[in-house]
A = this chain, B = another copy of it.
């Protein structure tokens, strides 16, 4: 985590009369140190391993703050648990998810983005965000005859 990001976080907190705490700092640091799509418990376990005393409630609360401040992106891949990803490390993209092994491939298509804006505009909507996921079977999982899963599959649409 850079000094710039720290300053940015402190400013965001002050903006809302929120206080800097060791937990919030540790959560920000942990989140910025990963490029994965992690759920609350991934972050919780990572912090505990680092001997950071923190509760799930605080992680959820802090992730909300980080989302509002633009540090993380909260995403619903349809399996009932939210995933959070470092938003500073990457530009905007959407996700393609393997229904069998959970593998995630990121994609970005300027034309799709453009058309989303157009559709909103055509309908008088002020677009705030979008959620776009492609679900299927990755190359590896297509080959397996009728084999076992490796990870948490996404089951909902």
A-to-B contact residues, CB < 8 Å: 73-76, 78, 82, 96, 98-99, 105, 107, 109, 111-112, 115-116, 119-120, 123-139, 142, 156-157
Contacts and interface: CB of A to CB of B under 8 A. Distances in A.
Given A75-B157, A157-B75, A128 B119 contact: no
Contacts of A78: 76, 131
Given A116-B134, A131-B157, 7 more contacts: A74-B157, A107-B123, A111-B111, A112-B112, A123-B139, A130-B133, A131-B132
**Is the contact region of chain A dominated by helix, strand, or loop, or is it mixed?**
strand
User: How many copies of this chain?
Assistant: 2
Nearest to A96: B125
